[in-house]
């Protein structure tokens, strides 16, 4: 029973990480109509920026996380306004440039930092225990930070004018533009917000999980899984799906072992696609 609870806690903290990634991903899709293949790249690069600032430059870890977040937001802003914006009308072209950018980012990391995983330990060690339940402090801090960020995103999306504009655009772009919303001006902002979140998540999570140039691949695959499960463009759907993914992964790793967790998830996704193609909370699928 204790290990069941402890595994659940790990699942929830994994879920909160996936939520941050999936929220960014789904915001970009909802607002810009773009599937961001570079999302995993911002996550990894965020991790490396934090590593460089914290381990090489010796800055305090929280500062390193902030810098990772800001630099990835800035990079996302530049990429959106210099490259993505030019092809934003053509969904296939947006796919190509984000994919190309991911390849460039991954290769750049490889050239600068090498293929070896760097030593990037989480600054806080130790384990919290209550009876037989164990939960590392590192995971607890990451969980707290992720939950705070999730609350922030929800506040932004549901309680501010910017968020209302973004939601209106994700629901009906022509109507939102007709109502005079400055749609284009929100594009780089929304993109930067999402990539900043990805960078921050990378900075928080890579010390616990792994930091290597190629970890973006699996991050991308899990983001895809989450948004397929939750329904593309649905903020709440992404959140629910991310926690489901996190919990299944944690329990499957403990009780099934190996990569069976991932297979379970894939099976779940296939079932969802048959039963509810629009995802758990997605709206009716319309023909594109």
State the Cα–Cα distance between residues 228 and 112, nearest whole angstrom.
34
Q: What's the token pair of residue 83?
A: 């490259």
Selected from 28, 232, 241, 252, the binder of other proteins by CB under 8 A is 232
Residue 286 DSSP symbol = P
State the Cα–Cα distance between residues 123 and 208, nearest whole angstrom.
10
Query: Would you say 52 and 119 are in contact if contact means Cβ atoms under 8 Å apart?
Result: no
Backbone conformation region of residue 60, classed left if phi is above 0, alpha if psi is from -120 to 50, else beta = beta
State the Cα–Cα distance between residues 277 and 143, nearest whole angstrom.
31
Stretch that binds other proteins, among 6-14, 100-108, 135-143, 150-158 (CB under 8 A): 100-108
Query: Would you say 124 and 131 are in contact if contact means Cβ atoms under 8 Å apart?
Result: no
State the Cα–Cα distance between residues 55 and 64, nearest whole angstrom.
9
DSSP-assigned beta bridge partners for residue 134: 129
Query: CB-wise, 210 or 285, nearer to other proteins?
Result: 285
Selected from 57, 96, 130, 179, the binder of other proteins by CB under 8 A is 96
Residue 288 DSSP symbol = -
User: What is the smallest separation between the CB atom of 258 and other proteins, expressed in angstroms?
Assistant: 7
Site string for other proteins, 170-209 (x = CB under 8 A): ----x-----------------------------------
Q: Using CB under 8 A, which residues numbered 18 to 37 contact other proteins? A: 29, 35
Is 266 among the residues that bind other proteins (CB under 8 A)? yes
Is 1 among the residues that bind other proteins (CB under 8 A)? no
Stretch that binds other proteins, among 87-95, 126-134, 182-190, 202-210 (CB under 8 A): 87-95
State the Cα–Cα distance between residues 208 and 211, nearest whole angstrom.
9
Is 106 among the residues that bind other proteins (CB under 8 A)? yes
Query: CB-wise, 66 or 221, nearer to other proteins?
Result: 221
Is 221 among the residues that bind other proteins (CB under 8 A)? yes
User: What is the smallest separation between the CB atom of 65 and other proteins, expressed in angstroms?
Assistant: 27
Is 88 among the residues that bind other proteins (CB under 8 A)? no
Angle between helices 183-205 and 2-32 (to 10 degrees): 150
Where does this chain bind other proteins (CB under 8 A)?
29, 35, 83, 86-87, 91-93, 95-97, 99-104, 106-108, 110-111, 115, 174, 217-218, 220-221, 224-225, 227-228, 232, 258-260, 262-263, 266, 269-270, 273-274, 277, 285-288
């Amino acid at each position: 029973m204790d290990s069941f609870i402890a595994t659940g806690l790990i699942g929830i903290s994994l879920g909160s990480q996936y939520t941050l990634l999936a929220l960014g991903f789904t915001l970009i899709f909802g607002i810009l109509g773009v599937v961001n293949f570079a999302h995993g790249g911002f996550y990894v690069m965020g991790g490396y920026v934090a590593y460089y600032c914290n381990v090489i430059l010796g800055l305090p870890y929280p500062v390193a996380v902030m810098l990772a977040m800001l630099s990835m937001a800035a990079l996302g802003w530049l990429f959106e306004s210099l490259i993505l914006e030019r092809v934003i009308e053509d969904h296939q072209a947006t796919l190509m440039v984000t994919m190309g950018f991911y390849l460039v980012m991954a290769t750049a990391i490889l050239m600068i930092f090498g293929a070896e995983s760097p030593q990037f330990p989480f600054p806080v060690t130790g384990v919290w225990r209550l009876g037989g339940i164990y939960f590392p402090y590192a995971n607890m801090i990451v969980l707290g930070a992720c939950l705070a960020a999730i609350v922030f995103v929800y506040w932004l999306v549901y309680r501010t004018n910017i968020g209302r504009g973004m939601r209106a655009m994700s629901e009906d772009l022509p109507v939102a533009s007709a109502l005079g919303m400055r749609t284009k001006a929100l594009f780089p902002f929304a993109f930067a917000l999402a990539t900043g979140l990805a960078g921050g998540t990378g900075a928080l999570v890579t010390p616990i999980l792994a930091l290597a140039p190629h970890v973006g691949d699996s991050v991308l695959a899990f983001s895809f899984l989450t948004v397929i499960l939750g329904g593309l463009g649905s903020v709440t759907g992404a959140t629910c799906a991310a926690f489901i993914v996190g919990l299944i992964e944690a329990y499957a790793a403990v009780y099934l072992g190996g990569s069976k967790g991932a297979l379970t998830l894939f099976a779940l996704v296939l079932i969802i696609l048959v039963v509810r193609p629009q995802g758990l909370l997605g709206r009716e699928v319309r023909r594109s």
